[in-house]
A and B are shown apart, each in its own frame.
Chain A
């Protein structure tokens, strides 16, 4: 191989897109993902807006493109420790955490019933539990089980090792550190949700009727409201937009996706619990471009009310009880108190941090793209709050910048 591969850090929708687009353009790619699976935040979504389609549909096609392309080298459970060198000629030090389950795993699942340890599932934002040995989800890629090394009892248990017929488990596995030569770097490190506990007045953590928007994605609302209300009544769900966003004390910026997410979630709840009623409290409804369609659909729904005003506070009446939401209606200039079966906090996005010497961040945590060295390109939520299609577009554009580096090196 003449030219060195392109390094992509982050295996969410940006990183996956960059990997397939680069490889199909003929480039060699190393994709490094810290989780044991690809898909990042989108694999934790139930639907995309405005089409209300499942993200797994696009992911599956992308995974197939990865499976069929020998130019893509995936390193899961791995982190980039250091990058040295110059554009076209970098060296990257990668740390791959202990692979307790190797690629001989057939995903037969025999190990699960014998595992005695449970853990909260981060894919479900803690609303569900899995065993210490688990498969992230049903279209996960690579398709194999993984062990949460933090909670696994290892040699004190070894039940999974005993039952596995395929030599797929090694509880003595050690992390590996190795280096690779690369030509350019795409930073696709993505985001995590803003911690709702940092907004105490909104009551997150005081009861399970106050949830965040990301948690709601994976909740089975049909079951949630089943036993609560007496026959003939209807559940009320309130949404607090900009929970911690556009707020100097929290996130000064607008995450750009929370309005679309809430509108989508309101429509989904209506589909699943038709008698439900919703009230969305917002400052501005920001659904740009064709995303406006999702707002148009909500406006036509008599059970969903849009109220301009910010939620000031929320309290749980008594343990297990309903949520008292204190808010305002700016247009009629009055304070309102409502009782809701559930309050959804539309929290914003915070960039994940990478900790590489070359990568400087701004006060708001995002990568300062203008300060990146030649041969480094940052995309999607690493540089600014971005939705899926923006991330995809930026990832594709960054591949071109990577290709420019590779072709320049070729020409020399």
Chain B
């Protein structure tokens, strides 16, 4: 390895945007350049201007600078301008937002903060190497689509139109899924007036004619191993086992109806005339109405919406498709039985968007009675069934005698362990709530916790067939994108484009399994001996394993135990008689770091004793940094991360939760060092919380002042 100090280094300080008003930049440069041998040291009134960038570019060219430090604005600003030459590694030190704009001008404290931040930036850079991308050999372009329902078929067809090879695995004897059993589809195109013919048969024909798709029916996945770009898929079909390669996976395993046997209170399984929407659909598709209505004359049909849905005892969520399905089915009945009274009892009738047109159209039926209501009982009355309901639009509680009761039951996602992942952390996609795959389902709905495996359709979230078709397209794009990123050696969301990856110094590994257990993305398997087996293309580069490793053997080329330790050790700790405290803050760079920038932008001032180290995720903080900082004499340590829990905001899903757990271990470190528990504090902040920053820091500094300086100071 090249001696870090011999790499030609350039140091540039900007005096613009009020930086020079806050402290003497020339003096800062002088003192920094004394401490660090640099090939060039310069100040400039506006480094981001064309002239400023020209100066840097010329120096890089003439002096062959490998590494440059730019002390100016936040690295979140003008990133493209300062990313000069791809061969030069750039470290940005935030002297504007996090010094000049949040500290009083011309004080010792402000100067010390600027010096420390510069030193931290430089030592970090000296211990940073340009990442060498990890690219597996012979990356597979094939997409494995699991499930041959409407989502899987659409996924395969859309992928084929993008010139991608597909293997489609369906466990039944032929593709088509639930859609094959439908008489008609909910309208999904203008004018949204009446149900439309199902698209499934057409799609199946197109699928069978598509040369890029290999269809495997009556097939199950025995095992998926490997990693994005290089999955190995063992598929059992007709008793024989064959292995295929794939670059990425679209999981489209669909849904199953909520078990109506749990709905005995609505008469299901007790009375013959109580069926589900699916039963009715089958009768309509096969024109077997006589099965439903053996006796004439008919009194009526009643639909009970949310049968087991929006109900904490059954499915707490709304399945989204049942309201429109019922409306659709009322038209089947009307087509067949012009004089039949039809009742629908709902909690709320949900037909958002253009489906409202369908609702309005169906409402024109004079013998269709739609009412809100709470079904209180379902009883038998001879050949008829009586449905009792309260709080209806009819005012009084009602009892309706009907021949048939149709239960609108919800969707339950299939068990993702069908994927049979050979991952150490389980066979399926981890879920958080209601058995749907865990993701940031508002902003980044496709990102599951297994890189390269994208869920689509009703196994991802409850949705109707039209939404499933749309969903398939998105998941395929993500799958292609993942394969392309692997070919470029880049990470996928959220650190898209990052070419660094965790490298393990295996000689020192003790097989403690912390990395394999704590990676939220299951990037580590284990060898038969129990040693971690990393799969770099599964990795999202959060550094949570780096934070976990007690032996400190996991490092990235630009984020390592060593370079963060060096940052900590570069801070000058005033001695105990100076009455100046030093707080080290590990700050999540996704949300908490921008909060500090915003605090500066609003010119809100905060205590100058804080020294910020941005980290990839608050879960990437290693215990050694805590002990390093405490033995160095830091008086307190703040850990600032994103919100954990059910509504977590951590971009790496579990980072803040793990950090919280580890903070308890850090407390042990405190005890061993005979230090007070207050010396470590963890706070969760949101990206909009800039007004809280000054108070949060002041409160912590007050706490530290109360317990006094760290006794290790100066030892």
Interface residues of A, Cβ cutoff 8 Å to B: 20-21, 24-26, 48, 51-58, 60-62, 64-65, 67-70, 104, 106-109, 138-139, 143, 165-167, 246, 252-256, 284-293, 296, 308, 330-331, 333, 362, 364, 366, 368, 370, 384-386, 388-390, 392-401, 403-404, 407-408, 411
Contact = CB atoms under 8 A, between A and B. Distances in A.
A60 B590 contact: yes
Contact of B647 (A51, A246, A394): A51
Nearest to B48: A106
A24 B46 CA distance: 32
B317 A60 contact: no
A397 B440 contact: no
Contact of A24 (B17, B440, B496, B686): B496
Contacts of A289: 317-320, 461-463
Contacts of B497: 24, 65, 68-69
B441 interface: yes
Interface string B305-336: 00000101000111110000000000000000
B354 A253 contact: yes
8 contacts: A58-B443, A256-B352, A285-B348, A288-B352, A288-B462, A289-B317, A389-B442, A404-B161
A308 B317 CA distance: 21
A253 B687 CA distance: 35
B352 A388 contact: no
Contacts of B647: 51-53
Contact of A296 (B80, B316, B349, B470): B316
A21 B476 CA distance: 11
A362 B436 CA distance: 36
A252 B473 CA distance: 29
B317 A54 contact: no
Given A53-B686, A68-B79, A411-B163, A253 B442 contact: no
Given A58-B443, A333-B395, A252 B320 contact: no
A314 B463 CA distance: 37
A407 B445 contact: no
B16 A400 contact: no
Contacts of A109: 601
A395 to B, nearest CB: 8
Given A24-B481, A61-B590, A292-B318, A252 B470 contact: no
Given A24-B481, A139-B687, A286 B443 contact: no
Contacts of B436: 290
Nearest to A291: B318
A393 B391 CA distance: 38
Interface string B629-643: 000000000000011
Interface string B648-669: 0101000000000000000000
B351 interface: yes
Interface in B480-513: 480-481, 484-485, 488, 492-494, 496-497
Contacts of A253: 353-354, 356-357
Interface string B30-69: 0000000000000001101110000000000000000000
B360 interface: yes
B158 interface: yes
Given A53-B442, A57-B591, A368-B190, A284 B16 contact: no
A400 B442 contact: no
A106 B76 CA distance: 12
Interface residues of B, number: 90
B161 A252 contact: no
Given A290-B317, A392-B443, A166 B46 contact: yes
A411 B647 CA distance: 45
Contacts of A407: 162-163
A333 B45 CA distance: 73
Contacts of A388: 442-443
A68 B496 contact: yes
B474 A108 contact: no
Interface string B440-471: 11111110000000000000011100010011
B304 interface: no
B706 interface: no
B690 A397 contact: no
B496 A384 contact: no
Given A61-B590, A166-B16, A370-B190, A386 B353 contact: yes
A286 B444 contact: no
Contacts of B18: 108
A295 B89 CA distance: 50
Contacts of B477: 21, 25, 396-397, 399-400, 403
A165 B46 contact: yes
Contacts of B444: 58, 392
B5 interface: no
Given A166-B46, A364-B354, 12 more contacts: A25-B484, A53-B643, A53-B647, A53-B649, A54-B686, A60-B591, A65-B494, A394-B470, A400-B158, A400-B477, A404-B161, A408-B163
Contacts of B17: 106, 108
Contacts of A167: 49
B111 interface: no
B679 interface: no
Contact of A400 (B162, B349, B357): B162
Nearest to B390: A331
A24 B78 CA distance: 20
B433 interface: yes
Contacts of A106: 16-17, 46, 48, 73, 77-78
B289 interface: no
B381 interface: no
A256 B324 CA distance: 14
Nearest to A288: B320
Contacts of A368: 190
Contacts of A386: 353
A20 B318 CA distance: 31
Given A252-B360, A254-B353, A401-B473, A56 B320 contact: no
A22 B590 CA distance: 22
Contacts of B442: 48, 51, 53, 58, 388-389, 392
A167 B52 CA distance: 13
Interface string B153-187: 00000100111000000000000000000000000
Contact of B445 (A255, A366, A389, A404): A389
B189 interface: yes
A333 B441 CA distance: 40
A355 to B, nearest CB: 21
Nearest to B494: A61
A292 B590 contact: no
B139 to A, nearest CB: 13
A109 B598 CA distance: 13
A116 B105 CA distance: 27
B352 A20 contact: no
A384 B190 contact: no
A394 B348 CA distance: 26
B703 interface: no
Contacts of A64: 76, 494
Given A165-B45, A253-B356, A330-B393, A396 B318 contact: no
Contacts of B16: 106, 108, 165-166
B473 A400 contact: yes
Given A26-B484, A139-B598, A394 B474 contact: yes
A139 B49 CA distance: 21
B372 interface: yes
B350 interface: yes
B552 interface: no
Contacts of B49: 104, 166-167
B228 interface: no
B688 interface: yes
A404 B164 CA distance: 10
B158 to A, nearest CB: 6
Contacts of B582: none
Contacts of A20: 496
Contacts of B190: 362, 368, 370
